[in-house]
Amino acid sequence: MKIYDDKHIKNVVFVGAHNSGKTTLAETMLFEAGLINRRGTVEAKNTVSDYHEIEHEKGNSVFATPLHTEWRNFKINIIDTPGLDDYIGEIISSIRVADTIVTVLNGQYGAEVGTEIIWNYIKEYHKPTVFVINQIDHPGLNFEKSFNGVKDLVGKKAVKIQYPLINDGAQCIIDVLKMKMYKFSPEGGKPEKLPIPEHQKATAAALHNELVEKAAENDEELMELYFDKGTLNEDEMRKGIKAGMLNYDLFPVFCTSALNDMGSGRLMGFIDNVAPAATELKPEITAKGTNISPKPEEPPVVFVFKTVHQPNLGQVTFFKVKRGEVKVNDKLINTRNGEIEVLNQLFIMDGKERNMISKAGRRGYRSNSKTKTY
């Protein structure tokens, strides 16, 4: 696998109500990126994310599962979380390691009780958040109700980047950042990029202007440009959207059909180009008040977000490198109890696949073996 620098790694966490489609969306993103050549489904119990026996029995995610995908020279680390309130512990620790949260909504129901509960935690940690209204293919889709549900959570800070449309019998997505219509074939995948049809031009233009205004509000330079030109180009909009996400003042709203593979490529493109990277977030403060800015050259600091016991591996600890770089056999101090912990082996995990690496850190990681399965 390629080595990515810290600007080309995006850490996202999928959260949302039970059955909104998080696990299916993760699977679709891995498939679109060519990392798996067959899309598993939750029903067939063969997704990369839901691989535990108990998840097969229950037919849904029980554990937060780290995965990754690669899209146009970026590595996107995904943690797919369970949507049930019983598993809130796994969700909270995943939110803490995310640089951007992807909140998935079931487009039939919009914001559900589970969405609200999780939202209250996201608020506490002030993480940049993208909302994805999924299941746009479903006959019961109610896009406006779903969007209003997002507005109930974040108010006027919610801004549509996309909305779904059936045009000439085909599933389409109108994108008001790019001002294009994506038209999908029934099997999804790469869409045809078309001009916005005449009867949608006024609606799309109004949403585009709203997006430009909201993007400009977050940066003085952009505001001046906007007053001078009356608009912003795509790059300027991206800059403003990112600033708005970091200020917690702008929440972009996308739409997808995870099941039919529609819209996942565009969402990954947005994560690559706009969603903040770890280096762009405000430095974190530890419980003891130490400021940890994510610099690669400083002594390593890792945040453990999950520990499990695996029958053939012993204790497996999932962590995010917050600063510096760690290598196999490094000794780190556990700040909870002062004990020394030795990093005996390092792996990148994708569901049950593990790929041994020799070091990991803010400069990326180095692989030294083929993928192994256990």
Ligand X SMILES: Nc1nc2c(ncn2[C@@H]2O[C@H](COP(=O)(O)OP(=O)(O)O)[C@@H](O)[C@H]2O)c(=O)[nH]1
Count interface residues toward Mg ion (CB under 5 A).
Answer: 3
Q: Does 171 contact ligand X by CB under 6 A? A: no
Q: Which stretch binds ligand X (CB under 6 A): 37-45, 215-223, 277-285, 331-339?
A: 37-45
Binding residues among 67-126 for ligand X as defined by CB under 6 A: 83, 104
Nearest one of 233, 119, 135 to 177, comparing CA atoms:
233
Residue 138, contacted partner among ligand X, Mg ion, none, CB below 5-8 A by kind: ligand X
Q: Which stretch binds ligand X (CB under 6 A): 153-161, 251-259, 316-324, 364-372?
A: 251-259
Contact residue for ligand X among 29, 42, 91, 177 (CB under 6 A):
42
3-state secondary structure of 305: strand
- At 64, give phi and psi (nearest 5°): -75, 120
Assess contact for 323 and 294: CB atoms under 8 A: yes
Apex 115 CA angle, 264 and 85, nearest 5: 115
Apex 257 CA angle, 185 and 125, nearest 5: 150
Contact residue for ligand X among 19, 93, 103, 355 (CB under 6 A):
19
Least distance from ligand X to the Cβ atom of residue 47, Å: 8
Residue whose entry in the numeric block shows the structure tokens 């790694």: 9
Q: Could you give the CA distance from residue 130 to residue 48 in angstroms, rounded to a whole number?
A: 23
DSSP state of 362: T
Q: Which stretch binds Mg ion (CB under 5 A): 18-26, 268-276, 280-288, 350-358?
A: 18-26
Helix ranges (H only) for the chain are 22-32, 53-58, 88-97, 113-125, 143-154, 201-216, 220-229, 234-246, 264-273
Assess contact for 87 and 114: CB atoms under 8 A: no
Q: Which stretch binds ligand X (CB under 6 A): 16-24, 292-300, 321-329, 360-368?
A: 16-24
Q: Does 149 contact ligand X by CB under 6 A? A: no
Least distance from ligand X to the Cβ atom of residue 19, Å: 4
Residue closer to ligand X, measured from CB, 16 or 324: 16
Q: How far is CA 268 from CA 16, 30, 204, 256, in A?
A: 18, 10, 22, 11
Contact residue for Mg ion among 28, 47, 61, 355 (CB under 5 A):
61
Q: Does 60 contact ligand X by CB under 6 A? A: yes
72: Cα within 13 Å, side-chain hemisphere: 9
Report the helix count and the strand count for the chain, using DSSP H and E: 9, 21
Residue closer to ligand X, measured from CB, 41 or 315: 41
Residue 18, contacted partner among ligand X, Mg ion, none, CB below 5-8 A by kind: ligand X
Assess contact for 358 and 327: CB atoms under 8 A: yes
Contact residue for ligand X among 13, 21, 204, 218 (CB under 6 A):
21
Q: Does 24 contact ligand X by CB under 6 A? A: yes
Contact residue for ligand X among 258, 326, 348, 357 (CB under 6 A):
258
Residue whose entry in the numeric block shows the structure tokens 């002594």: 299
Assess contact for 361 and 301: CB atoms under 8 A: no
Binding residues among 22-41 for Mg ion as defined by CB under 5 A: 22-23
Q: Does 137 contact ligand X by CB under 6 A? A: yes
Contact residue for ligand X among 253, 259, 267, 346 (CB under 6 A):
259
Q: Could you give the CA distance from residue 164 to residue 181 in angstroms, rounded to a whole number?
A: 10
Least distance from ligand X to the Cβ atom of residue 15, Å: 9
Residue closer to Mg ion, measured from CB, 101 or 241: 101
Q: Does 45 contact ligand X by CB under 6 A? A: no
CB atoms within 10 A of CB 319: 18
Residue 165, contacted partner among Mg ion, ligand X, none, CB below 5-8 A by kind: none
Q: Does 350 contact ligand X by CB under 6 A? A: no
Residues that bind ligand X (CB under 6 A): 16, 18-24, 41-43, 60-61, 83, 104, 134-135, 137-138, 257-259
Residues that bind Mg ion (CB under 5 A): 22-23, 61
